[in-house]
Chains A and B, each alone.
Chain A
Amino acid sequence: MADLRAALGPDRARAEPLELALYQRDAGVDRGQAAAVCFPGTVDQLAAAVGIAAWHDRPFVARGSGTGLAGGATPVGDPLVIVTTGLNRIVEVDADERVAWVEPGVLNLDLSRAVHHLGLHYAPDPSSQQACTIGGNVATNAGGPHCLAAGVTAAHVLAVEVVLADGSVAMLGGLEPDAPGYDLRGCFVGSEGTMGVSGRIAVRLTPNPPAVRTLLLDFSTIEAAAATVSGIIAAGIVPAALEMMDAEITRAVEDFVGAGYPRDAAAVLLVELDGLPAGVEAQVEAVRRVGHEHGARTVRVAADDAERALLWKGRKSAFGAIARIAPDYYLHDAVVPRTKLVDVLRQVYAIAAEYDLTMMNVFHAGDGNLHPLIVFDQRTPGVWERVHAAGDAILRACVDAGGVLSGEHGIGLEKRDAMPLVFTPDDLDAQARLRDAFDPSGRANPEKILPSGSRCGELQRVPAGAWI
């Protein structure tokens, strides 16, 4: 603490019990315990904090706003928690090269707002974009509704100045299109803080599309909605966004926001098309046709920006809306092949029934990224066990359908011990080699992503039960 206070200033390092308690967890459910927490105000201070952790041979966990849902920022191993939210300057915007340099604590939506007047935006748009940081987005390789066409964070990060676990600083990637040798930048994005901490980050800015149309389609069965998703892709259209909401969440959202969603629909699709005007209009007609072919009851095309914003407000308020139904929720994240959506959704509802839980689904249908949402009241005796068991069953159903464990939230602590469901011991060993090459000390956000036993020759000690 003395070293931290000397390097960062007396107010920037704390170890009072109340403050440590604040940093026990992220927006997920796993709790840990920090030894100390610090708030660097410059990238140099960030590097100094990591260096001090190295000097004292102490693990460290970096965190942005703590909106992560997989326990990636949960402190494990009595670490120093490094909070990056004070590093919130947009350092430079080059409108001609369409690049911005930002500090890791810049909020996702703040960046898009700051470059709006230049006709540009930052494409990845997680639902938490008002609160989450770009540094956290880099750590989790965050997605969002508009990643269907635009790609996830990894496709929009050009360079990252990384503070490695020994406190040294390395520039990974660059503004030139290719960096010589291995794609270290690509390895780092999505590594959930286990390879080091982001300092300044160079992100690609995307021109705002000349034309945008947003459509709301509603269906009397969820199968019809899912068939429409496949039909749109089969028609040669990759929408900017393609979101699905089931009956329960549609009603919840409508009661909350009043966006004009049909309260009696079994499912609604929110489709956004963007690009140049002629192509967009042709696609609007194609989506309308595909929707009707698959039994859409109504196809509503937003008439103006205000209506468009209202339709999106419904989608992005989904998690606020459920607070009216039950005090707690557990949000899942898994991806299945698009063609398996209907099968898997059916299983998800069956699992909810089996465990007597209320389940809602609001998700990125276009890329098969499911987000089953279990709402509950944790004061109900035994409910946590059922929630966890149902989550486990959902994950297995997704994996059995040829899917993966996470589409955009990450593995963190929450899904760490499920990794063997999709990876062999040799696969995990290879991942451990990559992680250890970046951080031979193992002090960068320890115990995350890889279950113990991932390294060849390491003692197998996976705890009983897949969920922590």
Chain B
Amino acid sequence: MDLTVTTAATLPDLEELRDRIAAAETVVPVGGRTHWDVGGPAPIGVEVRAPAGVVSYDPAELTVTAGAGTTVADLAATLEDGGQECVLDPRDPAAATVGGTLASGLSGYRRLRYGSLRDRLLEVRFVTGDGRVVKGGGPTVKNVTGYDLPRLLVGSLGTIGVIVQVTLRCQPRPRHVTWAGTSGDPFEVRRRCFRPSCIAWDGGDTRGLLEGDPDDVAAELHAGGLTPGDRGPAWPDGPHRGRISVRPGRLCALADELGGVDGLRWVAEIGVGTVHVGADRPAPLAQARQAAEAAGGWLLREQGDGIDGFGAGLPNRQLMARIKTAFDPAGKLSPGRLPV
């Protein structure tokens, strides 16, 4: 494999980037700042940005290679030309970068069908704290050659390396897409539909996302008792936001608790176990975190500074600390983002 073509020919500012990273005391990778409050407090240091632009795309490969600074919307526009998409689904695709979305590790709302964000990343190039470029994974859709650095980088919040270039898995765009609603039991919708892309529930209203052949979508709508509509769920907004991760089987019980939190807006992804929460003040989020932890889950802060990033400490913290030290012995990459 020619390792030089893409880095040298299409990412000309990499050398300067490497020098800046190597010389800095503290390095803070920046994408679109759309996930800026995710996890621990935003570190202060030399801000660096990954190059933007699609490096290579061949629809027949179902993969795309792009600079990590490419916005998700720009990437989507390129893939649309090939009749394909890459399921990243950040909140603000026009501003969010591919690298930032991956580094924050937040899977999108279509996870029920398409799986975790981590399953998208095939190959990653990142710059280490001492300015070396490291490649992990490989460009093919299937690969078990060596250790899975791509999965380590997804969700690492800039603490392992500065992601500069990625190769992602794509898929054909579905022929037909529709949101649909019901006031019925969301868990029943999940049991009755074969492969919905999302079932969102706010305690009253259920919204399902169906994608595929038009006749199949119609049949699924019928099976799930869903009425097509043009709007998806109202994802919770507000200056204080977070996401709960809990066993999907505990969503029903957790919903009872969340329903009792004054001032909390929430939407749960049925079958996944993610609950998006939002509020105008920090207190409801703190209460939601208590409820999540009591249900065996946890709450990640996504926006606001009223609560800390992770709540209860990280599991396997010693092991995580060894990994952090192994990759960033100087402790210069996004210090404090992950409490290891």
Binding site for B on A (CB under 8 A): 94, 96-97, 140-141, 143, 147, 151-152, 154-155, 164, 170-172, 174-184, 186-187, 189-191, 207, 209-210, 230, 233-234, 236-238, 275-279, 282, 335-339, 364, 367-369, 399-400, 402-411, 415, 419, 421-424, 426-431, 433-438, 440, 449-450
Contacts and interface: CB of A to CB of B under 8 A. Distances in A.
B142 A143 contact: yes
Contacts of B274: 177-178
Contacts of B55: none
A395 B141 CA distance: 17
Interface of B: 1-3, 58-62, 83, 105, 107, 111, 115-116, 118-119, 128, 132-136, 138-149, 151-152, 154-156, 160, 171-173, 194-195, 212-216, 219-220, 245-249, 269, 272-274, 296-298, 300, 310, 314-317, 319-320, 322-323, 325-327, 338, 340
14 contacts: A151-B119, A177-B111, A177-B274, A230-B60, A276-B216, A367-B141, A403-B138, A404-B138, A404-B145, A407-B142, A423-B146, A426-B128, A433-B327, A434-B147
Contact of A276 (B115, B194, B296): B194
Given A181-B317, A236-B172, A277-B216, 12 more contacts: A151-B119, A177-B245, A178-B116, A178-B245, A183-B154, A190-B148, A339-B58, A368-B140, A402-B1, A403-B138, A404-B139, A449-B146
B323 A234 contact: no
Contacts of A434: 147, 149, 152, 323, 326-327
A8 to B, nearest CB: 27
Nearest to A94: B249
Nearest to B105: A178
Contacts of B310: 180-181
Contact of B59 (A207, A234, A406): A234
Given A177-B111, A187-B152, A426 B133 contact: yes
Contacts, number: 250
Contacts of B128: 426, 430
Contacts of A402: 1-2, 139-140
Contacts of A147: 142
Contacts of A210: 194
A76 to B, nearest CB: 18
Contacts of B141: 335, 338, 367-368
A438 B148 CA distance: 13
A187 B140 contact: no
Contact of B140 (A178, A337, A427): A337
Contacts of A170: 316, 319
Contacts of A408: 142, 144
A152 B142 contact: yes
B60 A182 contact: no
A284 B194 CA distance: 20
A440 B319 CA distance: 10
B148 A154 contact: yes
Contact of B194 (A209, A419, A435, A449): A209
Contacts of B140: 335-337, 367-368, 402-404, 407
Contacts of B327: 430, 433-434
A421 B146 CA distance: 12
B196 to A, nearest CB: 11
A102 B259 CA distance: 35
A377 to B, nearest CB: 30
A176 B273 contact: yes
B107 to A, nearest CB: 7
Given A191-B147, A337-B140, A399-B1, A176 B296 contact: yes
Contact of A176 (B132, B214, B298): B298
B83 A236 contact: yes
B216 A182 contact: no
A170 B300 CA distance: 22
Nearest to A402: B1
A268 to B, nearest CB: 21
A335 B154 contact: no
A151 to B, nearest CB: 6
B145 A411 contact: yes
Nearest first, the 3 closest Cβ-Cβ pairs linking A and B are A186-B151, A278-B215, A279-B213
Given A182-B152, A279-B213, A400-B1, A177 B142 contact: no
A228 to B, nearest CB: 12
Contacts of A407: 140, 142-144
Contacts of B216: 275-279
B118 A186 contact: yes
B316 A172 contact: yes
B146 A369 contact: no
B249 A409 contact: no
A143 B145 CA distance: 13
Contact of B147 (A187, A237, A336): A187
A421 B58 CA distance: 24
Nearest to B111: A177
Contacts of B245: 176-179
A176 B297 contact: yes
Contacts of A190: 144, 147-148
Contacts of B3: 424
Nearest to A335: B140
Contacts of B60: 230, 233-234, 338-339
A410 B146 CA distance: 8
